[in-house]
Structure 1
Amino acid sequence: MAGLAESGSNPDVELLYDINGLAKDAPRWFDRGVEFLGEFGLLIAMVLLVLWCWWAVRRRGGEDAAASVAALVWAPLAAGIAVLVNVPIRGFVERRRPFLDHQGLDVLVDGKTDFSFVSDHATIAMAMGVGLFVANRKFGVAGILLAFVEGYCRVLMGVHYPTDVVGGFALGTAVVLLLSPLAMALLTPVMKAAEGSGRASWLIRGRGRAAGTEQQAVIPGARSESADAAERDLAA
């Protein structure tokens, strides 16, 4: 399996050259931007997206707040588990980095000496994207789109074959969905316990949004029923 995708006639290699060829024609600043995004930027953006979703969930409140936060906690945990699952996969496949077997690639980042299949970056990004989708559809779609951009950048940088990225997407998705029932069964009671705790309830709900209640909007000029009742009692 170490010789996987070594033939120049392989569609995997041809697509690699087609995508990586864009880096050769791009200006230097574009390459540096892709390098930052592909190595760190998009993963940082994914973490910020998870935090944004958590903030939106706790502000909205509702009966499903604890379950939604549990799903958000599961997203990074699933990404970590998927990376651990990838360790034996890499050792079994032993696919070398594409620039070690194919000449003429424009490699945007140095120091990649480990095996190529599957891509850790693609695995982490898709696991967090799908985990977000489990928690919130709107944020999840944004997360999955970021994962696709991450995978594209890894090929554009010349450090992964397209199938490395596809394998990472499949691994991240599988870990999230297959282990999600067990993870939610374990995490949801913990989040509900935190919701009922005075010290940790802020993790689940914003201030003033106690479980099962919602803040009432105060309309300028409006009178409460209790005030009207008090006036009727005085008039009597």
Structure 2
Amino acid sequence: MDSSATSDLYLDITDFARGTPSWFQHLAELWTEAGLLLFGALFVAVWWFARPSGTRAVAVAVLAPLATAVAYLCSEVLKTFFTEDRPCRAVVGAGASLVACPPVGDWSFPSNHSTIAGGAAIALALARPVLAYLTVPMALLMAFSRVFVGVHYPHDVAVGLVLGGLVATLVVLLAAKPLQTLVGTMRTSRSGLALWLAGPGTGTGARPAVERGRHSAGRR
């Protein structure tokens, strides 16, 4: 992978990073990992608040983390194909990165963090569109932080964001309908766990199997 196209921009960003206050550097270091945890919390919250809704809403909410995981796997496959070394080791004249430079074999292109961030941002926005105002800036900041701390080229994170977003969108589009059918089936199940996972669906008039059974018995 030819990384010379963005090497100068990488140097500009990392030189700027080393000139920022130490508290800001620590904040960037924290965000580069903590952002993943926040996306994880959003996955859980979106699923939980989708449970009273229709089967499609639950299906897309469940697909959000799954689509992000598929995007991550695609990123890993591309890494083994391109085998781009990390800029903190490869760029001539680069200063020390703010975090430890990953070892040889932990390739740079594309950025896994950015792929996950891009996939999560789009998948969550598909599940609940208003979240795009939160998740897209989160993803952009996470991607930038990977260059800021010195472990990725700008093109690594740009491609990672696009890859994550595209893969997540494709997975949701292809899998939403089959999973929607599964959620509907789970809502008719006698299993308490299945009913809890699929949700009551009260927002669309769907009712758990137990409740429907009571109404059927009453009519008899």
1:134 matches 2:126: yes
AA matched with 1:161: Y
Deviations 1:102-135 (A, max 9, x none): 2233412215121100000000111111111111
Mapping of residues 58-77 of structure 1, within 5 Å: 58=51, 61-62=52-53, 64=54, 66-77=55-66
Task: Tell me the residue number matched to 2:28.
Answer: 34
Residues 131 and 140 in structure 1, CA contact (< 8 A), matched pair in contact too: no
AA matched with 1:13: S
Unmatched segments (≥5 aa) in structure 1: 215-236
Q: CA RMSD in A?
A: 2.2
- 2: CA distance, partners of 1:209 / 1:184: 20
AA matched with 1:185: K
**2:3 aligns with one of 2, 5, 14:** 5
AA matched with 1:20: T
**2:86 aligns with one of 84, 91, 97:** 97
Task: Tell me the residue number matched to 2:213.
Answer: none
**1:24, distance to aligned residue in structure 2 (A):** 0.8
AA matched with 2:109: F
Task: Tell me the residue number matched to 1:16.
Answer: 10
Moved more, 135-144 or 145-154: 135-144
Task: Tell me the residue number matched to 2:36.
Answer: 43
Task: Tell me the residue number matched to 2:137.
Answer: 145
Q: Is the helix fraction higher in 1 or 2?
A: 2
Residues 99 and 159 in structure 1, CA contact (< 8 A), matched pair in contact too: yes
**1:55, distance to aligned residue in structure 2 (A):** 2.9
Residues 96 and 116 in structure 1, CA contact (< 8 A), matched pair in contact too: yes
Deviations 1:139-198 (A, max 9, x none): 233222211111010010100011000111121112112232321122111222223335
- 2: CA distance, partners of 1:111 / 1:14: 18
Residues 50 and 72 in structure 1, CA contact (< 8 A), matched pair in contact too: yes
- 2: CA distance, partners of 1:192 / 1:145: 34
Residues 21 and 106 in structure 1, CA contact (< 8 A), matched pair in contact too: no
Task: Tell me the residue number matched to 2:50.
Answer: 57
- 2: CA distance, partners of 1:210 / 1:115: 46
1:172 matches 2:170: no
1:120 matches 2:112: yes
AA matched with 1:26: T
**1:213, distance to aligned residue in structure 2 (A):** 6.3
AA matched with 1:5: S
**1:203, distance to aligned residue in structure 2 (A):** 3.1
Task: Tell me the residue number matched to 1:202.
Answer: 196
Q: Kindly name which structure, 1 or 2, has the bigger radius of gyration based on alpha carbons.
A: 1
Unmatched segments (≥5 aa) in structure 2: 208-220
- 2: CA distance, partners of 1:128 / 1:195: 26
Q: Secondary structure at the match of 2:202?
A: coil
- 1: CA distance, partners of 2:196 / 2:76: 37
Residues 106 and 157 in structure 1, CA contact (< 8 A), matched pair in contact too: no
